[in-house]
Amino acid sequence: MRFYFAALNWRIVCLAMLSIYLAACAAIPEQLSGDDLEKSASDDRTAMFSESGTIVGSLSLQEAVARAIKFNLDHKAKAMEQALALNQVNLDSYELLPTIAAKAGYSDRTEFSASNSKERGDGPPPTGGFSYSSDRTSHTGDLTVGWNILDFGVNYFNMRQNIDRSLIADERRKTVLNSLIREVEFSFWRMVAAQELKDRVTEAVKRAEKALADAEKVEEEKLRKPAETLRYQKRLLNNLRRLETVNQQLSTAKVELAALINVPPTTEFKLTPAIGHGLAIPKWKMDIGEMEIMAFRNNPGIREKLYLKRITIQEAKKSLINLLPGIDLSGGKNYDLNSFLDENRWYQWSATLSLNVFKLLSIPDQIQYNEANTAVTKAQRLALRMAVLAQVHVANIQYINAAKQFERAEKLYLIDKRLSEQISKRQESDMQSMLDRISQETAAIDSLLRRYQTYADLVAAYGRIQSTLGIGILNEGNYPRDLKNLSRSIGLALKRRGNYEEYLANLKSSGKQKSWKKQLDKIMRTNKVMAELGPLDSTPSSTLEDRSVLVSLNEGPGIGKIEKVNVICGSISKTKSYGGWMRLSALNNSNAAVKGWVHGIHISRAKDKCRQDFPTLKPNEFLVVNPDTNPPKPRSRQRSITISLNKKPNSTLAHRQKLLCSSISKHDSKRGWTKIIGESLDDFYVEGWTKNLFGSKLDIQCGHNVDSIKPNNLLDHKPKMEKQNNHRQLGKTMQLSLSGKPTPEPKKRYEVLCDSIVKNFPESGWVKVTALNLDKVLISGWIQKIYADKIKYQCSNEIPA
């Protein structure tokens, strides 16, 4: 028996060695055969041009761009990369689901699984019989639902990262698309030059070669002086060299354009532009500052870096989640057909907590790595912004230079063309030599070539500006799929892409302002400083916009009658909100006050049409359009109350005054009487005494708490009893001590207008304050935050930040 098992083991070893040998023989490398290479080349060539189709008739610029967008292989590859990234996102969503595993098993054996047992230690061997507790044949199965919470968190961040990667693929596709369109336009105009100059160059070369042959014959026969003949031949050869250079420069234009629109290089096709057609200079009028802002917003490279920043943040979160303990939850139903079991079907569930203790030691290093990775991403983004900023200026300079070069080339071409015509006429009358005609024809051809080359450079510089700014001729890749409609859409887009006003409108609609002065101007308009003081010389564009927008005003939030009215954009303000509805106050085109309720969706549309945000004001207050033309009208629309004021406490002489609620303040109190100072509707400052009972009702009648100002308060409220005929009163003022830097250095004290104060640029306990003094001069400085918070109590209104 022992010999039998030894022989069996030896056979098994030999069989295993033979299997390994055969597997090693099967791994011999096999090179591609010539038939495989030929078949692959033929199939790929057919696939490359299978969708391009044939070019019917002449090819226009819009059709060339459309063919490049639809058939160019580079653009197709980038579009497929984006689609692949989106498919990966769809696959990632399945990773968030729990696992459901179904298992079924069958086993059989020749003998029962019988066993016996003995006591521990060196006791006697078992004396009882053998027993078994399972059948020889076994049928098992289970259906288990499992969910790992840690894997769920990791897969969630993986999905978020892949979503950003799909957006990065889209930005790269846009970059390729913009570059593709620019190259198509450049190659198109080079081929136009080749198409127009081909016959003229060929004819000029034949004429020059014939003249050269005649000159060599004259030299052989010695009909002229040798030096004169040699100079003649030299000039002819120089002209031939120039003509051949023109041929060399234009010989590759057709091949380059064919590769861009994905047709075989040997395809014969012509372009639409006819001989002598005019070339229009594409206009670009956007200010360089607005170009910088647009490039920072729309440049695909910068957007890609911002998406990479989000990916880095998600990666940091994912790495920290991996350090958490894993929690496995599982549950399911099991069955086993073992006849010895009491229950053949049962439910089972479990929860497992696992933690790699050594991972906890890597937490400080992991956090340090995440911070370093974030810093590197930020540094790369800032470096790219600097590069884009330089590209904007370089592209703008190149466009200006290219436009000047084209203008010069255009004038030179027209002059050479007229000279060539004049010399050609003289040649027919035998008044000029053949050499002069050939030289001038060569100069005319060279000028025409330079004209098209400079125009191609101009178009390329124009496209480089737009690609740097992230401006595409089609919106986000949403374009018709058929070639005919796509060509029509591109033709309209090429005509519209020089619309400076459209680009500027898109820039303004984003809410971005060109400089801090415009930001201050917007804040001051919101706080009605422009209505109070008139336009400022130091702030550009300080008047409110006089555009109007049509809105539908309801009597209540979703109830009551609806009135459609045109209101002035600059006068619109929000006074109250309720359940998605907002109450608007504004002036119509007749300068009359209107108010009503509008839903938030229509508010957003009105903002887009007006290209500005609407401030939130107190009820019955209005922004004033053109405040210098009719000051009393806006004042009459503000909330006011009528009050009886005595000259002294306990005096029997009283006079009734109508005061603006926003100007009323309490200054003193004596024996049950309160001193009131305010501004009347006629631009007078008035003061007087009223009983405390009536003074306490001012808060209710005005709808806000009336200020109580102590005599020693920093707010220096000096009533002016004389009437100001030429301008409005300055309003509340206060004294501020401002530093030139956020440090406790020597300070200067200013008296400023409360309504003009703006807070910005907080820095380590200090706040920069900008305001207007009594002479309407803009001042700024730093103040400690503890004092900045007290300004709103002294000025009785919120200070915008």
Asked whether residue 254 carries a pLDDT value surpassing 80, the answer given is: yes
Look up residue 592 and give its two tokens. Answer: 């009359």
Instruction: Count the Cβ atoms, other than its own, within 10 Å of residue 501.
Output: 9
Least confident range of 219-233, 562-576, 584-598: 219-233
- Alpha-carbon span 258 to 184, nearest angstrom: 10
Note whether 288 and 417 are same-domain residues: yes
Gyration radius from the chain CA atoms? 43
Under the banding of pLDDT at 50, 70 and 90, the label for residue 544 is very low
How high is the pLDDT of residue 623?
41
Note whether 571 and 433 are same-domain residues: no
How high is the pLDDT of residue 537?
34
Q: What is the pLDDT of residues 68-94, one digit of tens each?
A: 888 888 877 877 877 787 777 777 777
Note whether 609 and 677 are same-domain residues: no
Average confidence (pLDDT) over 645-669: 74
Q: CA of 784: how far to CAs of 250, 767, 780, 792, in Å?
A: 70, 6, 13, 14
For residue 38, tell me if it sits in a domain. no
Domain that holds residue 319: 55-103+148-326+374-512
How high is the pLDDT of residue 714?
32
Average confidence (pLDDT) over 126-145: 83
- Alpha-carbon span 424 to 441, nearest angstrom: 9
The answer to whether residues 384 and 301 touch, using CB atoms and an 8 Å cutoff, is: yes
- Alpha-carbon span 85 to 165, nearest angstrom: 7
Asked whether residue 530 carries a pLDDT value surpassing 50, the answer given is: no
How high is the pLDDT of residue 730?
45
Under the banding of pLDDT at 50, 70 and 90, the label for residue 442 is confident
Q: What is the pLDDT of residues 413-430, one digit of tens each?
A: 888 888 877 777 665 444
Asked whether residue 66 carries a pLDDT value surpassing 50, the answer given is: yes
Note whether 187 and 232 are same-domain residues: yes
For residue 3, tell me if it sits in a domain. no
How high is the pLDDT of residue 331?
92
Under the banding of pLDDT at 50, 70 and 90, the label for residue 697 is low
Least confident range of 97-106, 175-184, 675-684: 675-684
For residue 608, tell me if it sits in a domain. yes
How high is the pLDDT of residue 500?
54
Asked whether residue 340 carries a pLDDT value surpassing 80, the answer given is: yes
How high is the pLDDT of residue 479?
67
Q: Give the bridge partners for 147, in sequence order.
A: 329
Note whether 158 and 71 are same-domain residues: yes
How high is the pLDDT of residue 451?
86
Q: What is the pLDDT of residues 350-405, one digit of tens each?
A: 998 888 888 888 888 888 888 888 888 888 888 888 988 898 999 889 888 988 88
Q: What is the pLDDT of residues 668-694, one digit of tens each?
A: 777 778 888 777 765 555 778 887 666
Q: What is the pLDDT of residues 548-567, one digit of tens each?
A: 788 888 877 766 667 888 88
Note whether 555 and 644 are same-domain residues: no
Q: Which position has the higher pLDDT, 11 or 328? A: 328
Note whether 61 and 159 are same-domain residues: yes
How high is the pLDDT of residue 38?
82
The answer to whether residues 246 and 449 touch, using CB atoms and an 8 Å cutoff, is: yes
Structurally, the chain folds into a number of domains equal to 3
Least confident range of 15-24, 163-172, 279-288, 458-467: 15-24
Note whether 393 and 455 are same-domain residues: yes
Q: Which amino acid is at 475?
A: N
Q: CA of 700: how far to CAs of 641, 660, 706, in Å?
A: 11, 14, 9
Least confident range of 16-20, 57-61, 566-570, 635-639: 635-639
Under the banding of pLDDT at 50, 70 and 90, the label for residue 645 is confident
Under the banding of pLDDT at 50, 70 and 90, the label for residue 770 is confident
Average confidence (pLDDT) over 766-779: 75
Q: For position 503, which CATH number holds?
A: 1.20.1600.10
Asked whether residue 109 carries a pLDDT value surpassing 60, the answer given is: yes
Asked whether residue 703 carries a pLDDT value surpassing 60, the answer given is: yes
Least confident range of 24-38, 625-639, 647-661, 715-729: 715-729
How high is the pLDDT of residue 148?
87
Asked whether residue 6 carries a pLDDT value surpassing 70, the answer given is: no
For residue 86, tell me if it sits in a domain. yes
Average confidence (pLDDT) over 270-284: 68
Q: Of 645, 677, 712, which marks where a domain is finished? A: 712
- Alpha-carbon span 326 to 567, nearest angstrom: 61
Asked whether residue 498 carries a pLDDT value surpassing 70, the answer given is: no
Under the banding of pLDDT at 50, 70 and 90, the label for residue 724 is very low
Note whether 302 and 419 are same-domain residues: yes
The answer to whether residues 176 and 78 touch, using CB atoms and an 8 Å cutoff, is: yes
The overall average pLDDT reported for the chain is 74
The answer to whether residues 751 and 733 touch, using CB atoms and an 8 Å cutoff, is: yes
For residue 413, tell me if it sits in a domain. yes
The answer to whether residues 321 and 157 touch, using CB atoms and an 8 Å cutoff, is: yes
Under the banding of pLDDT at 50, 70 and 90, the label for residue 332 is very high
Maximum alpha-carbon separation in the chain: 140
Q: Of 695, 712, 729, which marks where a domain is finished? A: 712
Four-residue CA torsion sign, 377, 379, 384, 389: positive
Under the banding of pLDDT at 50, 70 and 90, the label for residue 478 is low
Q: Which position has the higher pLDDT, 746 or 233? A: 233
Q: Which amino acid is at 313?
A: I
Least confident range of 3-7, 32-36, 500-504, 635-639: 3-7
How high is the pLDDT of residue 797?
61
Look up residue 492 and give its two tokens. Answer: 């309209």
Asked whether residue 179 carries a pLDDT value surpassing 80, the answer given is: yes
Q: Which amino acid is at 376?
A: V
Note whether 497 and 580 are same-domain residues: no
Helix (H) or strand (E) holding 120: none
How high is the pLDDT of residue 333?
92
Under the banding of pLDDT at 50, 70 and 90, the label for residue 349 is very high
Note the pTM of the prediction, 2 decimals: 0.54
Crossing angle between the packed helical segments 288-298 and 500-509, to the nearest 10 degrees = 60
Under the banding of pLDDT at 50, 70 and 90, the label for residue 527 is very low
- Alpha-carbon span 45 to 33, nearest angstrom: 18
The answer to whether residues 286 and 500 touch, using CB atoms and an 8 Å cutoff, is: yes
Tokens 């005003």 locate to 553
Q: Which amino acid is at 6?
A: A
Note whether 605 and 640 are same-domain residues: no
For residue 520, tell me if it sits in a domain. no
Asked whether residue 713 carries a pLDDT value surpassing 60, the answer given is: no
Least confident range of 293-307, 330-344, 672-686: 672-686
Q: Of 586, 602, 623, which marks where a domain is finished? A: 623
What percent of the chain has a predicted confidence (pLDDT) above 70? 73
Note whether 419 and 566 are same-domain residues: no
